[in-house]
Amino acid sequence: MKKVCVAGLGYIGLPTAILAAQSGLSVVGVDVDAKRVKNINAMISPIEEPEVEKRLGIVITNGSFKAQTHYETADYYIIAVPTPFTEDKRADLSYVFDSARSIVAVLKKGDTVILESTVPVGTTKLLTEFLSRETQLKSGTDFFVAHCPERVLPGNTFHELQVNDRVIGGIDRGSTRHVATFYKNFVSGDLYLTTAEAAEMTKLVENSYRDITIAISHQVASMAYEVGLDPYEIIELANKHPRVKMLKPTCGVGGHCLAVDPWFLIETFPKQTALLKAAREINDNKPFEVISRIEKKVQEWKDSHEKDSCTVLVLGLTYKANVDDIRESPAMTIAKELVGKKNFDVLVCDPHVSSSRLESLLANCKTTLVEGIAKADLIVCLVAHDEFKIIDKKVIAHKKVLDFCGIFHLGRKHSCDQEQFFWPASGIDSFEQDTIASYKLHEFGLIKEREKSE
């Protein structure tokens, strides 16, 4: 029976290890976090993912999988560790090469090393050279190396790890074939064989493309808010065009991929990535635009109610709906910034983030959905969790609601539905028709009669 050692038991490493074990391989999972390892062996998953604890229980019970903090000899080594970026937006590959140093101690002839972590173009070659230099083994003959990035949607990870097509890029043809043989154990999707550099760039281009499409939606939202229009209505109507498919704007872009990966291309190709950089800057700035709009509405609420205090309820902290992942979360950035304000009170609610974790992140601001709504003067929707979608509109009818994730956008059911109202009506700002008309008249030298007389 072939043996697999998976480095990194997070959102990708743990499901991959479980699937490999379920396919008939003997799997050891390695993580530097001793508490995480202990919980996994106790069949307690560190990640929120459908089926994960059920599947974990099966492979732990039958002995095909175990977790530990040290590496041991295997036939396949999978590196699935984080690759964040530094403060100056450069790739931090320390976790990858920490794993490589540990693999060096156990690597033997005939072994295969698979890099799943998303990395800048050229990293797999650097990894291969490091392993060869440290072990005195010859790559492509004594051992094999390839890059095979994941393509999964959190919340549907197990299904997508199995059915999605994979791109496998070896440092030579032999390595590519060895790794393709491994993935055939549990992947039913097509396997596309290429070079390591092509696989690295493909993964980064995929996520950069998605980042750019989100940036367009965010700019549409910014423009719509300026004139009091509902951006979700604008995008819904634009998508009626047969060749337009825009995404819904949110409060920003987060997660371990989209908010990070484009910077790897920008770092490597600074002269060819102006569009990618512009999109990144738009998406990175979105949370602060949202904060500014919230502050403006808080002040308006205070003025209209003639009060010095205002309680703001923040709904959602994760980087996307229905997951527990807060990595690079724009909602978390917004919540932390709001909590730091002194001119209003903040409550936060996220049913997917544990109470203890919420407490450690945002001190004494955590609340339940029911309690938060009861206390709030202003409700800010940042993440479209399913739990928020079923809020009774009557309960919040007298609250000021700012919807930055389209959770209350009703949509048009029929083409003749001309009297459709969107809730909250007209997005965030009222439509200042007279101001805009006046601006246009001045622009073209056409002054209203009333203005001439004045």
Give 278-307 pLDDT, tens digit per residue. 999 999 999 999 999 999 999 999 999 999
Cis amide leading into 242 (omega within 30): no
Among all residues, which ones are annotated catalytic? 203, 257
Q: What is the pLDDT of residue 296?
A: 93
| Six-digit token string for 400 | 């000021």
Residue 181 has pLDDT above 80, yes or no: yes
Residue 162 has pLDDT above 50, yes or no: yes
Helix (H, G, I), strand (E, B) or coil at 113: strand
Confidence grade of residue 397 (pLDDT, cut at 50, 70, 90): confident
Mean confidence (pLDDT) of the chain: 90
Confidence grade of residue 357 (pLDDT, cut at 50, 70, 90): confident
Beta 65-68 vs 144-147: how paired, if at all? Answer: unpaired
Q: What is the pLDDT of residue 38?
A: 97
pTM beyond 0.95, yes or no: no
pLDDT tens for each residue of 240-283: 999 999 999 999 999 888 889 999 999 999 999 999 999 999 99
pLDDT tens for each residue of 217-252: 999 999 999 998 999 999 999 999 999 999 999 999
Dist CA 145 CA 106 (whole Å): 15
Q: What CATH class is the domain 207-403?
A: alpha beta
| Six-digit token string for 187 | 């992947």
Q: E strands, 51-107, where?
A: 65-68, 76-79
| Six-digit token string for 64 | 């095909």
Q: One-letter amino acid identity for 182?
A: F
Angle between helices 274-305 and 196-226 (to 10 degrees): 30
Confidence grade of residue 414 (pLDDT, cut at 50, 70, 90): low
Q: What is the pLDDT of residue 356?
A: 84
- Report CA torsion sign: 361, 390, 238, 202: positive
Same-fold call for 3-189 versus 207-403: yes
Which residues neighbour 81 within 8 Å (Cβ) at sequence distance 6 or greater?
Answer: 7, 8, 10, 13, 95, 96, 98, 99, 117
Dist CA 131 CA 201 (whole Å): 22
Residue of 229, 253, 427 lying closest to 328 (CA atoms): 253
Which residues neighbour 98 within 8 Å (Cβ) at sequence distance 6 or greater?
Answer: 81
Q: Cα dist. 444→227, 278, 436, 439 in Å?
A: 20, 32, 13, 9
Confidence grade of residue 432 (pLDDT, cut at 50, 70, 90): very low
Dist CA 359 CA 251 (whole Å): 22
Dist CA 354 CA 344 (whole Å): 25
Dist CA 179 CA 193 (whole Å): 10
For residue 184, how far is the Cα from the chain centroid? 28
Q: How many residues does the chain have?
A: 454
110-126: string of b/e by CB count within 10 Å (b at 16+)?
ebbbbbbbbbbbebbbe
Q: Where are the domains of the chain?
A: 3-189, 207-403
In the beta sheet, which residues pair with residue 396?
Answer: none
Confidence grade of residue 327 (pLDDT, cut at 50, 70, 90): confident
**DSSP summary character for residue 366:** B
Average pLDDT (96-122) is 97
Q: Cα dist. 288→52, 278, 335, 338 in Å?
A: 35, 16, 11, 10
Residue 429 has pLDDT above 50, yes or no: no
Superfamily name and number for 3-189: NAD(P)-binding Rossmann-like Domain (3.40.50.720)
**DSSP summary character for residue 402:** E
User: Exposed/middle/buried for 214, CB within 10 Å: 0-12, 13-18, 19+?
Assistant: buried
Which residues neighbour 242 within 8 Å (Cβ) at sequence distance 6 or greater?
Answer: none
Q: What is the pLDDT of residue 394?
A: 87
| Six-digit token string for 294 | 């919230």
Chain position carrying tokens 């493309």 = 209
